[in-house]
Amino acid sequence: LPGLHVFALAFALEVSVGKTNTVMALNNSNVLLPCTFTTCIGFQDLVFTWYFNSTEMVGSSIYHGKIKNKASEPFLVGRNPRVEFVGSTTKKDNNISILLKNVDFSDAGKYTCHVKNPKEKNAQHNATIFLTVVQKMVEADNTVTLIIVGVVGGLIGLLILFMLIKRVVLFIIKKTQDGKKECLVSSSGNDNTENGLAGSKAEQKAPPKA
């Protein structure tokens, strides 16, 4: 069934940049752009290319490499001077990540990791990362910290207030109960000792005659 064969072939090669496709980096720092690929039937003379803001366009390639087979590491075909290959393909994950050095604001944008495998009739696939370059990360962190502190502080304050209210309510209930007990004792004492008699009023009454 040719149709099923084509369908299976289309999903044989997969490329991934991880759980999230957004990366944030500080100005003048180095940033890792992750990428791995998987293939069901292996690879031969595989080609991978990293593009900046475009895909398969002249001048947009920032790293171009080839891998002979799974027993060999990639060899460089061409790269931007600020890009360094930091992956490995002789291990399980087929890592073709790169390190972008000394990033500045002009480096912000879309980075595409593109892979083509001749062994799978040139099956190809890509994954994209969006890079944001910032001057400082402290401000964002402080905002988050202040929000967390505010929320936690508010919760602690509510908890303390609840505990204080609970103690006051329990104290009032206890005093009320103690007051009732005192009233009962006092009332019982008056009944039992009325006119200096030791018994209660009920005991003083004579039983009804039959």
**What is the pLDDT tens value at each position of the chain, 210 positions in all?**
454 444 444 457 899 999 889 999 999 999 999 999 998 888 999 999 999 997 666 668 999 999 999 899 999 999 999 999 999 999 878 999 999 999 999 999 999 999 999 998 888 999 999 999 999 876 445 555 555 556 666 777 677 777 878 786 677 777 666 554 443 444 344 444 444 444 444 444 455 555
Measure the CA dihedral 78/79/85/90, to 10°: -20
Note whether residue 76 is domain-resident.
Answer: yes
Within a domain: 199: no
Predicted local distance difference test score (pLDDT) of residue 148: 54
CATH number of the domain to which 102 belongs? 2.60.40.10
Domain-located, residue 116: yes
Count of the separate structural domains present in the chain: 1
Handedness of CA 49, 52, 53, 58 (dihedral sign): negative
Structure confidence by residue, pLDDT tens digits, 144-159: 555 555 666 677 767 7
- ∠ CA 90-129-52, nearest 5°, is 90
DSSP alpha helices (H): ranges in the chain?
A: 2-10, 138-192, 201-204
Q: Per the structure block, which two tokens stand in for 146?
A: 């202040």
- In angstroms, rounded to a whole number, what is the distance separating the alpha carbons of residues 147 and 134? 21
Task: Identify which of 101, 96, 106, 104 has the alpha carbon closest to the alpha carbon of residue 127.
Answer: 96
In a domain, residue 151? The reply is no
Domain hosting 38: range is 17-134
Model-wide pTM > 0.85:
no
Round the CA-based radius of gyration of the chain to a whole number and report it: 40
Whether residue 168 lies inside any domain: the answer is no
The single residue listed with the structure tokens 């799974």 is 70
Within a domain: 154: no
In a domain, 143, yes or no: no
